[in-house]
Structure 1
Amino acid sequence: MALHDIKLHLTGLSCGSCVGRAERALQGVPGVQDVAVNLANETAAVRFDDPAELSDITGALLQAGYPAQEEQIVLHIANMSCASCVGRVERALADAPGVKEVAVNLASEKAKVTYIVGMTTPDGVAAAATDAGYPAQVPDRNATVSDRKDAEALELKRDLTIAAVLTAPVFAIEMGGHFVPGVHALIHQTIGMQASWVLQFVLVTLVLAWPGRGFFAKGLPALFKAAPDMNALVAMGTGAAWVFSTVATFLPGILPQGTRAVYFEAAAVIVTLILLGRYLEARAKGRTGQAIRKLVGLQPQTATVVKDGIATMTPIVQITTGDIIRVHPGERIALDGVVAEGRSYVDESMISGEPVPVEKAPGAAVIGGTVNGAGSLSFEVTKTGDATMLAQIIRMVEDAQGAKLPIQDLVNKITLWFVPAVILVAALTVIMWLVLGPDPALSYALVAGVAVLIVACPCAMGLATPTSIMVGTGRAAEMGVLFRKGDALQALQNVRVVAFDKTGTLTAGRPELTALHVTDDFEADSVLQMVASVEALSEHPIAAAIVRAAENRGLGLQDPRDFTTETGFGVSAMLDGRHIRIGADRFMRDCGIDTKVLTQQADKIATEGQTPIYAAIDGQLACLIGVSDPIKPEAPQAVNALRKMGLRVAMMTGDNAGTANAIAAQLGIDLVVAEVLPDGKVAALDTLQATGDKVVFIGDGINDAPALATADVGIAIGTGTDIAIESADVVLMSGDITGVVNAFDISRRTMRNIRQNLFWAFAYNTALIPVAAGVLYVFGGPLLSPMIAAGAMALSSVFVLSNALRLRWVTPATKGEMA
């Protein structure tokens, strides 16, 4: 039973209560395991297995009133020659993930495809046809991937403009007298009060039916389903003001004596102000996703493909693995690959955050999206589409931005009941004013009830957490820190211990042979040649150091047989009929080999921070090798910065205790766990966690994967292995461990930003609902106008978004990362 993970873009989400209802609808689908709905980027991340299907999930969302967004594209299809080709293209496209409808036209050589946004992309759809042998191209690609929030902002701007133009005369007629003496008298003397009210009725009806129609189209169905949202509050408030005013205009006889008044201007101004707030909100939301757009914009849309000596400019979607791409000076590298010809320096700062260009020669790996320097390169494509590093980075950032932190669960539970509670408070407010209020009680009751409905919209509550996450993780990505799991943002703030792996993390991971002591029965070059021949089959950095030392001495390597490795202990092999064993002192002890003859030299090596490695030939100790792995230049800065944050720093290594203690002393590390295998690191982490401390582990190797998965937060060095990265919660794209400090800093800043947003949102609603209900009026103060309530509500959401956007300008906590 396979688990599936999908991310859908939803429509209709307007407040925190919508998030809760969408989540409940999805959780009600049999087979759905986990759901996270994000208001800021309007997405739903769903994990499901059998019996759930995509159609069940999208159907549940549609039924709940939050349908998954769909888009339609038209592809140009090549190589179609008959009806059977059409059938094959249709089947290939229909089988692509997220595709709902396909219509292929042979005559025009086009395919019209409807797909679910978030499950695939235009390029992904095109790739399905291309892989089937019918190259597809997306016309006007920039239009098909234009930012949805920008389009929404333009639509809101249009509605806002219409609403403002229609509202301005109403506001001038009804409220002008408060600002300019004589306006009301002039209206009475010219068109008269009744004509004025009829004109206001016409203009305000247009406002509600045209730019304000969305509030009613979405809010009333939600209200009838007993699941009211923000749109329902606005629809009820403005609708009540409009109905009362319409009755006062055309059927005044049915109103109690002395209550005839109109509130058309309130309905119109409320809609206009809320549209203004939503327009500003949409623009701000668009900026929260700026990091993703920057990453997407890094990949070129075409590249120069060389086939049979002929260079052709080819769309990216038509390039496959094995193709040779030529990169000219100053061009962006289009896809991941391996250099086949040429030399150059490539700016990889978009991946690593490191500003220094990296030299590339034949055999070197290149990454799509990076910028070539002054040289010319040709490289063979190894990864395309979603398999490229840039695509994986974008996916990691998107996943982190759509994450739901534990703190959000509480917010969602509150907002789920908040809107019904507001409606109840509004109803009680109306009743209290009707029973206890002064004349005209009905007018006062209407004003207070509408003000409560409008001022309490929980938009700010729903936006408080996800917007900060989006901006914070996006900014972190720009600094080379990728949060693979968004909840690591919250987890990092509770961490008390930071545990580092040593080799390749605190040290350079490129050790050099610094000492060679042979026993009396052996000769140095002969032993080194045999040891290096065996170590040549190992991928360990220490093995590489021994091999380099032998090559530097001009010693030719031989081919051993029966090579075996015991992780954390050592290696062994047969060479020219002799049994070679190489490893740490514990490996020698397990093999029954006495190392006492070299104990003094081993102690000296260890105290100097070198790693002692023994070699035995046919069961007899042959030599002691000292290997020194220099500490990374930035390691002291990183450790010192973490300790200043109040964190304890530990180091875990399979290395000799003496060597580990010497390095720890140089760095000022608090706790050392040495001579441990991968399971020993896990046990050490369990021990630390048993004390109640939350622990971070930072590593880069395959043997670090279990520890990365065990720690409360695992941080992988991006220059390490894929297995380590897949096991981690956070990835540092460069080998610079000062990125750990930046990860902690961005975590603390983001969580502080979230707490500020939540305080504002909840304090605002708690304070203004009683004011809107008329508490101040009881003590001789003013009654809150519904128009002011609408402005305050819009301001609250804009404040939360603006506060979250401050995270865009966070600077690296250390100099090791490039902003």
Structure 2
Amino acid sequence: MTHTYIITGMSCNGCRTKVEKALNEIDGVEASVSLEPPVVTLTTNKKVPIFKLQKALYAAGNYIISESDVAFENSLYSIPISSDMNTMALPASASGKYYCPMFCEGEKVYDKAGDCPVCGMDLVKAPDLNASKIAYTCLMHPEIAQDQHGDCPICGMDLVPMKPVDEEENTAYTDLMRKMKIALVFTIPVFIISMTLMFPNNPLLKLLGINDWNWVQFILSLPVVFYAGWMFFLRAWKSIISWNLNMFTLIGIGTGIAFLFSIAGLLFPDYFPNEFKHHGAVSLYFEATVVILTLVLLGQLMEAKAHGQTNKAIKELLKLAPIEATLIIDGKDKVISINDIKKGNLLRVKPGEKIPVDGKITNGESTIDEAMISGEPIPVDKTIGDTVIAGTINGNKSFVMIAEKVGSETLLSQIMQMVNDASRSRAPIQKLADSIAKFFVPTVVIISALTFIIWSKFGPEPAVVYGFINAIAVLIIACPCALGLATPMSVMVGVGKGAQSGVLIKNAEALENMNKVNVLITDKTGTITEGKPSVEKVYSVNSEVDNLLQSIASLNQYSEHPLAQAVVNYAKSATISLIEVKDFEAISGKGVIGTVANKKVALGNEKLMEQVNVNVSDDLETKISAEQKLGKTVSYIAVDGIAVGFVSISDKIKPTSVAAIKELMRQGVEVIIITGDNENTAKAVADELHLTGFIANCLPEDKLREIKRLQAEGKIVAMAGDGINDAPALAQANIGIAMGTGTDVAIKSAKITLVKGDLQGIVKARNLSHAVMRNIKQNLFFAFIYNVFGISVAAGVLYPVFGILLSPMIAAAAMSFSSVSVIVNSLRLRKLKL
């Protein structure tokens, strides 16, 4: 088998060789590592735990391995290749196919609807994440249908798009509804006949004898048993021969015994003892059989209906995707299918239209409603050069945009894939339910057998009848599916709710652990601050500011760091041209160096000055310190080994950061800023926000080291960051939180992504985690208590004191509604206010 992972920390071919060698030394592993992109492809005979791979890399150096996807490229959100045994995310290829909601067979999917061969539950359709291809037709000639917009070949009229189907018909629900109708038609007469025969002076006995009415009940029960409820017996048989015992095992055994007993009593009444007879005829249980099967069928019908609602978040996201766009070609507008858009196409977005793909505005300006992506209701002003996102809604102005990400690369598509994967992953708490469910059915069968034996020996007359009825009630009321559904239903709804609020969760484990976090490590630039730094001033000791600005701006044009871009923008606004740079090198966590106009220029922090052996004069150091104490980020400038000035950059703190940090600290979370910035600047920010603490002058490995130290102290650490240099720390933290405005590598390394890139999203994530975990515990409590109490009552433990027994029919009704109650409780999360 082949797996692909991201490797962070490699900076040269020597690193690549070292990583490849370390991984190849693991028994059974064949590794191939590339530097661009920084990924490793592993070929193994069996699955190798990721912690084993990481252990080998720690021995080789400061390298981090994390989940990846095969198509690395530039997508914001990737489809994870599972390396965590808790993750059961469906692959992208499962889109539109059927899977078991309890993941009995892991990632296995089916092309057609049916029931799970392991647990017997109805398979659920995975949402189809691919945008539907538009079909065009003619209003005059509806028999015409083609993929592209054009003219009708018969009458010449413009073809119009066929109306897309918003939601595919739920075939499982439709099939169950049909069976339910059949079951009711035949069950109700059987129930009426059976109940009426119990009354004295029954008028029915004047029409036919009791034996004749028993034959009528038998005939009416056949469609219920062999059509409407036959699937339950098939599932029970599959579960027994495969020894994957489940709810349908108990239903099949209980109703099967009751039905066969009734047939035997009808055909061979003389072989039965008097204890089984009433008014001279054997007491039959045709009505119990059909009523139980009908009630179980009702429960399945309600579950199928509820399952459709759990995927509501993804369905709502699917509705956001537009189906066509206006392409500008040769200066003219042409309406095309969204599937035909190519990168680099110029598209016109008219007032009120949905933006078709991700890209940037090239002409015009407008106000964009991004609430459906970020969860924020206030429209955002956009102008030339600003990014626009597929699925968001244009305001009242028209603009032209260039397509940059299309198809599955768009943010909307990636969000849908991430939500789809996460909603089908397994939380660690699920292990408890899985362990209990494994022994549940055999235990219930044993309890049922003991119930029959104990009642037959010690119960009141007719003891054998009491034992038989109570044993069936025990089998019927037990519901392992309520246990199995308790966690996945809450996770599915919770993840969808998070996506609607701009909080994207990679898997259920992250959702569970977010509730346990007690330390938040956060970067400064782009996380606490807006990430839109601007140059305040450039200082030169010899007053040659323009020449110095030209040198550092030319150097920074090759860097992707936000501070570098701020310097370039400042130079352009001052109409200073950029010149050629040789020997450019970006030194992680320190700055950049290169040769500009035959002079060696270095721009960065104090550690960079130490690395290139530059001494800074006391006067210059004093000026720099004064800027830093104002909360400014200051970069030293050195030319040919001499410190000649500095650039002072400000980056405003996000207004929401103050409120978010205050709320997190109120919830008992320590908030620590770790930044590569200097101590004065870090302290100014920490003091303004009243943080627990700060660590300045940090390199990427320092962030990693600090997180390991805190984890060694027993802390549950969350790390929030947005840059490439944050990726190792994000991967090491218990919960890595990436800002959606950050780099792809940071997002790939994180467990949670905040679409808006705002610390307020962390508060939302914690609130969501708390609500989901509370909901899961409620579900598990309901399931446990229901089974413990229900089985006890069905076995007759209340009879000696209270005289209470449980009819198998009431047991069936209770069992059917137990799973439904778990699903309904999970659906309450949809109304959660984050």
- Please indicate, yes or no, whether the TM-score normalized by the shorter chain is above 0.5: yes
Q: Could you tell me which of 494, 514, 520 is aligned with 2:536?
A: 514
Decide whether the 8 Å contact of 1:62 with 1:68 is kept in 2.
no
Q: Which amino acid aligns with 1:70?
A: D
Shift of 1:280: 1.4
RMSD, aligned CA:
3.4
Going from structure 1 to structure 2, the CA distance change for 1:122 and 1:289 (only over 3 Å counts) comes to closer
Going from structure 1 to structure 2, the CA distance change for 1:46 and 1:515 (only over 3 Å counts) comes to closer
SS at match of 1:504: coil
Q: Which amino acid aligns with 1:158?
A: R
Q: Which residue is equivalent to 1:202?
A: 219
Q: Which residue is equivalent to 1:246?
A: 263
Residue 678, structure 1, aligned to residue 678, structure 2: no
Q: Which residue is equivalent to 1:154?
A: 174
Shift of 1:187: 2.0
Task: Determine the C-alpha separation between the residues in 2 that align with 1:584 and 1:487.
Answer: 38
Going from structure 1 to structure 2, the CA distance change for 1:420 and 1:120 (only over 3 Å counts) comes to same
Cα-to-partner distance string for 1:679-716 (whole Å, 9 max, x where unaligned)? 11101111111101010000011111111111011000
Q: Which residue is equivalent to 2:293?
A: 271
Residue 185, structure 1, aligned to residue 202, structure 2: yes
Shift of 1:737: 1.5
Bigger shift: 713-722 or 581-590?
A: 581-590
Shift of 1:248: 2.3
Residue 644, structure 1, aligned to residue 662, structure 2: no
Shift of 1:515: 4.4
Q: Which residue is equivalent to 2:580?
A: 559
SS at match of 2:429: helix
Shift of 1:211: 0.9
Task: Determine the C-alpha separation between the residues in 2 that align with 1:440 and 1:377.
Answer: 84
Q: Which residue is equivalent to 2:3?
A: 3
Residue 449, structure 1, aligned to residue 436, structure 2: no
Going from structure 1 to structure 2, the CA distance change for 1:310 and 1:663 (only over 3 Å counts) comes to closer
Q: Which residue is equivalent to 1:720?
A: 742
Going from structure 1 to structure 2, the CA distance change for 1:628 and 1:731 (only over 3 Å counts) comes to same
Bigger shift: 554-563 or 770-779?
A: 554-563
SS at match of 1:417: helix
Decide whether the 8 Å contact of 1:634 with 1:737 is kept in 2.
yes
Q: Which residue is equivalent to 1:594?
A: 615
Shift of 1:146: 4.2
Residue 235, structure 1, aligned to residue 252, structure 2: yes
Q: Which residue is equivalent to 1:358?
A: 380
Q: Which residue is equivalent to 2:595?
A: 574
Q: Which residue is equivalent to 1:16?
A: none
Shift of 1:448: 0.7
Going from structure 1 to structure 2, the CA distance change for 1:273 and 1:712 (only over 3 Å counts) comes to same
> Which residues of 2 match residues 111-510 of structure 1 at below 5 A?
146-147=167-168, 150-176=170-196, 185-259=202-276, 260-309=282-331, 311-510=333-532
Shift of 1:360: 4.1
Q: Could you tell me which of 91, 111, 123 is aligned with 1:70?
A: 111
Q: Which amino acid aligns with 1:195?
A: D
Q: Which amino acid aligns with 1:168?
A: I
Shift of 1:506: 0.3
Task: Determine the C-alpha separation between the residues in 2 that align with 1:67 and 1:512.
Answer: 52
SS at match of 1:487: helix
SS at match of 1:331: coil
Shift of 1:229: 2.0
Going from structure 1 to structure 2, the CA distance change for 1:47 and 1:329 (only over 3 Å counts) comes to closer
Q: Which amino acid aligns with 2:658?
A: P
Q: Could you tell me which of 821, 824, 830 is aligned with 1:799?
A: 821
Task: Determine the C-alpha separation between the residues in 2 that align with 1:310 and 1:623.
Answer: 53
Residue 617, structure 1, aligned to residue 639, structure 2: yes
Q: Could you tell me which of 606, 616, 634 is aligned with 1:585?
A: 606
Shift of 1:600: 2.1
Going from structure 1 to structure 2, the CA distance change for 1:628 and 1:305 (only over 3 Å counts) comes to closer
Going from structure 1 to structure 2, the CA distance change for 1:549 and 1:120 (only over 3 Å counts) comes to closer
SS at match of 1:615: strand
Cα-to-partner distance string for 1:555-575 (whole Å, 9 max, x where unaligned)? 444333332221211222222
Cα-to-partner distance string for 1:218-248 (whole Å, 9 max, x where unaligned)? 2123223333321221111111111222222
Shift of 1:293: 0.5
Q: Which residue is equivalent to 1:633?
A: 655
Q: Which amino acid aligns with 2:587?
A: E
Task: Determine the C-alpha separation between the residues in 2 that align with 1:65 and 1:635.
Answer: 40
Shift of 1:554: 4.4
Q: Provide structure 1 residue ranges, at least 5 long, that are not aligned to the other structure.
A: 6-28, 49-56, 73-115, 128-134, 813-819
Q: Which amino acid aligns with 1:809?
A: K
Going from structure 1 to structure 2, the CA distance change for 1:46 and 1:349 (only over 3 Å counts) comes to closer
Task: Determine the C-alpha separation between the residues in 2 that align with 1:4 and 1:610.
Answer: 41
Decide whether the 8 Å contact of 2:262 with 2:285 is kept in 1.
yes
Task: Determine the C-alpha separation between the residues in 2 that align with 1:65 and 1:273.
Answer: 30
Task: Determine the C-alpha separation between the residues in 1 that align with 2:439 and 2:413.
Answer: 39
Task: Determine the C-alpha separation between the residues in 2 that align with 1:67 and 1:728.
Answer: 26
Q: Which amino acid aligns with 2:110?
A: Q
Cα-to-partner distance string for 1:283-305 (whole Å, 9 max, x where unaligned)? 11111110011111111223334
Shift of 1:258: 3.0
Decide whether the 8 Å contact of 1:34 with 1:47 is kept in 2.
no
Decide whether the 8 Å contact of 1:332 with 1:370 is kept in 2.
yes
Shift of 1:171: 1.8
Q: Which amino acid aligns with 1:572?
A: I
Task: Determine the C-alpha separation between the residues in 2 that align with 1:553 and 1:140.
Answer: 54
Bigger shift: 155-164 or 647-656?
A: 155-164
Task: Determine the C-alpha separation between the residues in 2 that align with 1:566 and 1:64.
Answer: 47
Decide whether the 8 Å contact of 2:127 with 2:315 is kept in 1.
no
Task: Determine the C-alpha separation between the residues in 2 that align with 1:287 and 1:430.
Answer: 41
> Which residues of 2 match residues 516-535 of structure 1 at below 5 A?
516-519=538-541, 521-535=542-556
Decide whether the 8 Å contact of 1:32 with 1:46 is kept in 2.
no
Cα-to-partner distance string for 1:542-563 (whole Å, 9 max, x where unaligned)? 2233334444444444333332
Going from structure 1 to structure 2, the CA distance change for 1:361 and 1:744 (only over 3 Å counts) comes to same
Shift of 1:278: 1.5
SS at match of 2:694: strand
Shift of 1:649: 0.7
Task: Determine the C-alpha separation between the residues in 2 that align with 1:137 and 1:159.
Answer: 41
Shift of 1:371: 1.4
Q: Which residue is equivalent to 2:566?
A: 545
Task: Determine the C-alpha separation between the residues in 2 that align with 1:376 and 1:791.
Answer: 58
Cα-to-partner distance string for 1:420-469 (whole Å, 9 max, x where unaligned)? 22112212222222233332233212211110111012111011000000
Shift of 1:805: 0.8
Bigger shift: 334-343 or 722-731?
A: 334-343
SS at match of 1:627: strand
Going from structure 1 to structure 2, the CA distance change for 1:258 and 1:571 (only over 3 Å counts) comes to closer
Q: Which residue is equivalent to 2:789?
A: 767
Task: Determine the C-alpha separation between the residues in 1 that align with 2:103 and 2:512.
Answer: 32
Going from structure 1 to structure 2, the CA distance change for 1:65 and 1:533 (only over 3 Å counts) comes to closer
Decide whether the 8 Å contact of 2:303 with 2:823 is kept in 1.
yes
Shift of 1:136: 7.0
**Normalized against structure 1, the TM-score is what?**
0.82
Task: Determine the C-alpha separation between the residues in 2 that align with 1:433 and 1:553.
Answer: 95
Going from structure 1 to structure 2, the CA distance change for 1:324 and 1:627 (only over 3 Å counts) comes to closer
Task: Determine the C-alpha separation between the residues in 2 that align with 1:526 and 1:409.
Answer: 65
> Greater helix percent: which structure?
1
